[in-house]
Every structure is written in structure tokens, then in C-alpha cells.
């Protein structure tokens, strides 16, 4: 598992934990969240600790009744030093980008199979 995926998973897991601890949360535990999503709690745990698909993230947001962007907000997000921060969906995987090098790496990785819009980015 690459570093950016690990960081993205930690951010998502931390944010879901923050949201279910809020007083007005629609789900008060990961078990309740899993039930609202129609999955086993152990499956949710694996999803949060791995690299969930965008559809899974959308289902989490729907069960919590929050916009998807809300899952990536909050105090758990570390301050940026590079000025780059974002998430990109590539072949069903969410990649967390925190640097220009990450963008270039993903562009080169994707261009091996498909021409990528990232191929034309220059810095």
C-alpha cells in the first residue's frame, strides 16, 4: 500500500470517527453506520482501513447524511507545507495528493496504459 493511500485512509477513518461522535450524528457508532449501510461492521472497518472505492465513500456519506466533502474536512487534516492537497479517483482507487511529485507520479503511472490529462502539466 502506498504512503498517500495510507494517509488518505487514516484521514477518512479519523473523520468518520469524529462525525459519529458528534451530538447530532445520525449514526452513533461504526456498528450503527455499518447497519445503515447494510454491511457487516467488520466490512466497514476493512473499508476504512484500506482504500475504499468512491461508491463506498458515497455510501458512508449517505448513511451519515452528510456531503461527501464533509468526510474530508476537520481538524484531522494536517497543515500543508507544499500547497497541494486533494483526492483523485483513478481506476476506482482514491489517491491522496499532497505534492507536485504525487501528481507527476500518478500522471506517469496512468500514462503507461492511457494518455492522461496530467501528462500536459508543467511546473
User: What is the H or E stretch that residue 95 is in?
Assistant: strand 93-97
User: For 47-61, how does the pLDDT look when each residue is reduced to its tens digit (9 = 90+)?
Assistant: 888 878 888 888 999
- For the chain, which domains are there? 3-72 (1.10.260.40), 86-120 (no CATH)
Q: Which residues pair with 94 in a beta bridge?
A: 89
- Please tell me the pTM assigned to this model: 0.57
**How far apart (Å, rounded) are the C-alpha atoms in residues 101 and 97?**
9
Joined grid coordinates for residue 29: 457508532
pLDDT of the residue at 9? 73
Q: Is residue 40 scored above 80 in pLDDT?
A: yes
Q: Is residue 63 scored above 90 in pLDDT?
A: yes
Amino acid at each position: 500500500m502506498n504512503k498517500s493511500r495510507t494517509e488518505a485512509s487514516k484521514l477518512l477513518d479519523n473523520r468518520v470517527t469524529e462525525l459519529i461522535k458528534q451530538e447530532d450524528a445520525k449514526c452513533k457508532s461504526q456498528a450503527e453506520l455499518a447497519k445503515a449501510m447494510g454491511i457487516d461492521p467488520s466490512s466497514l472497518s476493512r473499508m476504512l482501513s484500506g482504500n475504499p472505492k468512491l461508491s463506498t465513500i458515497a455510501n458512508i456519506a449517505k448513511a451519515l447524511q452528510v456531503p461527501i466533502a464533509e468526510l474530508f474536512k476537520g481538524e484531522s487534516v494536517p497543515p500543508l507545507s507544499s500547497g497541494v492537497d486533494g483526492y483523485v479517483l483513478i481506476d476506482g482507487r482514491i489517491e491522496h495528493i499532497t505534492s507536485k511529485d504525487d501528481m507527476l507520479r500518478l500522471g506517469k503511472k496512468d500514462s503507461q496504459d492511457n494518455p492522461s490529462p496530467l501528462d500536459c502539466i508543467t511546473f
